[in-house]
Structure 1
Amino acid sequence: MLMTNFLQKRKSVRDFKNDNVPRDVLENIKLLIQEIDSEDGVGLSLYENGKIVYEGLKGKAGYSGVMIEAPHYISLDIKDNSPLNILTGGYLLEKLNTKIVDLNLDTCWITVDQVDHDTKKSIFGENGVGIDFLIALGYGQKKKFFDPEVSSSRLPVDEIVFQDTLGNPISMETLENYGIFDVFSSARYAPSHMNLQPWRFVLNGSKIDAYMVKSEDDNRSFVDMGVILFYIEEMLKSIGTEKKWTIDLKDAGKHYYIGEISL
């Protein structure tokens, strides 16, 4: 499936069956983790006994205080909580997430950054205090795509993409001429905390600059930026652009400048 189509149909499942994922599939996921987990400041781990994770976090994490119960979880351990590591963590965990979905499994992101250190240690071990995000995985009770109401709440393309400088309007014709209108139209469906969509992009000649809106919760936004950078890279491949983001984090007033990618 093209990544543009994947994003538009992307779903997050919160109700999982009790069925364990078959052993061979779990072993495949472990191999995927080994392939992806190549950054010093970030660690990914599979917790096969989901009951331990669920019981430990029940009442302390989840959605509106309700923990997501799943047969298995994957943790994201960010070593020193630096913006670059947080950004990288979001990129790698969503990259892994898409590969897990390709195995016909369902997933759901869970934020655990408000959970106390003692609880994390009791669940994940002495070195688990840096785990702020999880992916629950298994087989969903039912599959549900984004409904029109959720989709319509997302920012339009002309509020996330600009020309030359932030705030300068860009025409849809210009995006079409560069062959990237579908990329940014689909990017609106990428997940973000509270659906804040903190990303902003500037088409600057033959490159795209990425920015992040500052907020009271920058750490979660940096994770969201890692997610969207992954998807932009993947979607650009569909138009023949096999490029990677060059990251150059710096302050830019009401935004953080994240980096650039060539077209």
Structure 2
Amino acid sequence: MIFTNFIQNRRSVRLFQTKYLDDDMKSSVNNAIERVLDEEKSSGIDIKPIYSGFEVYNELDGKAGYSGVMVKAPAYISLKYKEINPANKIYGAFQMEKLITRLIGLGLDICWITLEPGPTPEKVKLFGDDAEFIEYIVAIGYAEEKKPFTPEATSGRKEVSEIVFGDEPFKSISIEELNRRGLLDIFSSIRFAPSHKNLQPWKFVVSNDKVSLYILNNESIDISLGDAGIIMYYFYELAHGSGIKSEWEICDLNTKVEDYVLLAEYKL
């Protein structure tokens, strides 16, 4: 599958060229954003490009990024929640990852950046009244050329057996059973989905008629909602590509199993 290869080879970029996006590329980015915002899943969010990227960098340097090291890029895209609630955080990440997939198809490189919650002074200066509703931006541009023989940076991923379980949470399910049900390739691919600090805070439970997604219920659950939205997007695309056409349904976050909470269900 082409999409399977895309997920396994998708990389975040932290070093961008200083090259600005030209007018044709800006137009393509704007069109990609409009297409995503036209979809029903985007009803609770707004997405905007910021082409004065280095101004964003100067304002957020030391305040966002990896251990306070801001990712410097020629442009960024902001994700705004119209209302702060779990569904908007999940579908915001779902739709943003869909947009990212299209931007990578345009030849751009990307990097998710988590911002401090709330209306911090830096965010207010950049986003005004929207500041408290923006918790993520995505850096976009062109990656710096790598030096010859530089190895690819990699991060470990959990095995399918560590994230997928059988009818009763969280009891093992055989690889043969997943293969019989047409789910093995899907789970083998989505385990490469990116997550904050590569924590991979998800577990899936496969029952007769649905796949249930659980996420780790701890102090980082707000960030994990975004991680969940990303992996839900990849599951959705691969499931539809395999003929398993359904929709994710968000749960009420009241069903807990061990240290996890039930987040969403996908009918089979």
Q: TM-score range by the shorter chain?
A: over 0.9
Choose from 113, 136, 140 the match for 1:133: 136
Distance 1:207 1:158 in 2: 18
Q: How has the CA–CA distance of structure 1 residues 145 and 160 changed in structure 2, closer, same or farther, with 3 Å as cutoff?
A: farther
Q: How has the CA–CA distance of structure 1 residues 8 and 174 changed in structure 2, closer, same or farther, with 3 Å as cutoff?
A: same
Distance 1:146 1:132 in 2: 29
Distance 1:116 1:131 in 2: 9
Distance 1:54 1:189 in 2: 28
Contact 1:175 1:181 survives alignment (8 Å) = yes
SS in 2 for 1:134: strand
Matched, 1:167 2:187: no
Contact 1:2 1:238 survives alignment (8 Å) = no
Choose from 95, 99, 118 the match for 2:98: 95
Contact 2:193 2:230 survives alignment (8 Å) = yes
Identity across the alignment (%): 37
Q: Aligned residue for 1:35?
A: 35
Matched, 1:261 2:266: yes
Q: TM-score, normalised by structure 1?
A: 0.93
| Unaligned runs of at least 5 residues, structure 1 | none
Q: Aligned residue for 1:193?
A: 196
Over 3 Å off, 4+ runs: 142-147
Letter of the 1:42 partner, please give it: I
Matched, 1:47 2:50: yes
Q: How has the CA–CA distance of structure 1 residues 116 and 193 changed in structure 2, closer, same or farther, with 3 Å as cutoff?
A: same
Contact 2:247 2:266 survives alignment (8 Å) = yes
Distance 1:79 1:174 in 2: 41
Shift of 1:61: 0.8
Contact 2:118 2:133 survives alignment (8 Å) = no
Q: TM-score, normalised by structure 2?
A: 0.91
Q: Aligned residue for 1:242?
A: 245
Letter of the 2:219 partner, please give it: E
**After superposition, where does 1:136-215 map in structure 2 within 5 Å?**
136-142=139-145, 147=153, 150=155, 153-215=156-218
Contact 1:163 1:169 survives alignment (8 Å) = yes
Shift of 1:26: 1.1
Distance 1:135 1:189 in 2: 19
Shift of 1:119: 1.2
Contact 1:11 1:145 survives alignment (8 Å) = no
SS in 1 for 2:227: helix
Shift of 1:259: 2.1
Shift of 1:16: 0.5
Q: Aligned residue for 1:22?
A: 22
Which structure exhibits the higher relative contact order, with contacts defined as CA atoms closer than 8 Å and separated by 6 or more residues? 1
Q: How has the CA–CA distance of structure 1 residues 236 and 91 changed in structure 2, closer, same or farther, with 3 Å as cutoff?
A: same
Q: Aligned residue for 2:3?
A: 3
| Unaligned runs of at least 5 residues, structure 2 | none
Distance 1:47 1:97 in 2: 15
Q: How has the CA–CA distance of structure 1 residues 103 and 145 changed in structure 2, closer, same or farther, with 3 Å as cutoff?
A: farther
Contact 2:118 2:132 survives alignment (8 Å) = no
Count matched residues: 260
Matched, 1:62 2:65: yes
Distance 1:108 1:259 in 2: 26
Contact 2:117 2:132 survives alignment (8 Å) = no
SS in 2 for 1:122: helix
